[in-house]
């Protein structure tokens, strides 16, 4: 496995190794490298949340040529140490799911802010990352929106197929609801990139997305 403190993303621009941003990203990678769950990425077995964070960063740089520090940190930390807050500790159903998601957002924001403070970021920036990761203003905050674009693109590209296989009990209307909710969270830029990768998806998912977008 690649060392978690190395530059595991092929950035379009080089990061200074001793910069606050580089140190925070490395700290997030080290934290996510403790995930006991594994996932294969490009033929390599990685801790699940480390793999997820890499995918988030990769999509971020397709969304923006020069993303801000806050955008890079938010995307890398969106699921930081999420395995420590198991979904099954919350009630089943929609209400329990949203309670879990809210708890995750608060936790991720606190952890990211903690690592930022340790590496020289201001109180204002730390407060901003908490707000971004809470996702309370997706359409009003540009950084929150670009992070959500990345999250939706990661879901569609990598996680929709296994999610589809896990939920064979869902009827077509349920799937249309899931896809349209995902679509509504994205901006026009996110939509453009999602459509550009449509041909990469399995045929049945292409049909599903096209059906959802017709509603």
In a domain, 58, yes or no: yes
**Domains contained in the chain, number:** 1
DSSP output for 117-170: HHTT--HHHHHHHHHHHHTTTTTT-HHHHHHHHHHHHHIIIIIHHHHHHH-TT-
* Most confident of the ranges 17-26, 32-41, 172-181: 32-41
pLDDT band at 7 (very low <50, low <70, confident <90, very high): very low
In a domain, 2, yes or no: no
In a domain, 74, yes or no: yes
Determine phi and psi for 40, rounding to 5 degrees: -90, 130
pLDDT of residue 15: 60
pLDDT of residue 116: 98
Residue 146 pLDDT exceeds 50: yes
**pLDDT tens digits, residue range 152-165?**
999 999 999 999 99
Kindly state the average pLDDT of the residues 190-214: 91
Rounded distance between C-alpha atoms, residue 167 and residue 147, angstroms: 26
In a domain, 100, yes or no: yes
pLDDT of residue 16: 57
In a domain, 173, yes or no: yes
pLDDT of residue 17: 65
pLDDT of residue 14: 52
Residue 73 buriedness (CB in 10 A; 0-12 / 13-18 / 19+): buried
Residue 2 pLDDT exceeds 80: no
In a domain, 6, yes or no: no
Q: Which residues pair with 45 in a beta bridge?
A: 40
**pLDDT tens digits, residue range 100-127?**
999 999 999 999 999 999 999 999 999 9
In a domain, 11, yes or no: no
Q: Whole domain around residue 167: which residue ranges?
A: 20-213
In a domain, 82, yes or no: yes
DSSP output for 2-66: --TTS--S--SSPPPTTSHHHHHHHHHHHHHTT-S-EEEETTEEEEHHHHHHHHHHHHHHHH-SS
């Amino acid at each position: 496995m690649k060392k978690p403190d190395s530059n595991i993303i092929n950035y379009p621009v080089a990061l200074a190794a001793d910069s606050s941003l580089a140190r925070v990203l490395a700290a997030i990678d080290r934290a996510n490298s403790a995930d006991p769950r594994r996932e294969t990425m490009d033929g390599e077995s990685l801790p699940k949340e480390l793999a997820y964070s890499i995918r988030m960063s990769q999509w971020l740089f397709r969304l923006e040529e020069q993303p801000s520090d806050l955008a890079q940190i938010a995307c890398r930390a969106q699921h930081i140490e999420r395995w420590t807050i198991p979904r099954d500790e919350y009630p089943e159903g929609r209400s329990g799911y949203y309670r879990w998601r809210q708890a995750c957002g608060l936790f991720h924001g606190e952890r990211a802010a903690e690592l930022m403070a340790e590496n020289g970021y201001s109180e204002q920036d730390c407060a901003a990352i908490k707000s971004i990761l809470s996702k309370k203003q997706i359409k009003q905050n540009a950084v929150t929106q670009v992070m959500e674009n990345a999250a939706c693109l990661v879901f569609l590209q990598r996680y929709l197929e296994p999610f589809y296989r896990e939920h064979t009990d869902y009827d077509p209307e349920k799937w249309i609801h899931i896809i349209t909710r995902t679509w509504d969270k994205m901006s026009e830029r996110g939509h453009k990139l999602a459509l550009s990768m449509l041909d990469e998806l399995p045929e049945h998912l292409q049909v599903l997305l096209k059906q959802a977008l017709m509603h």
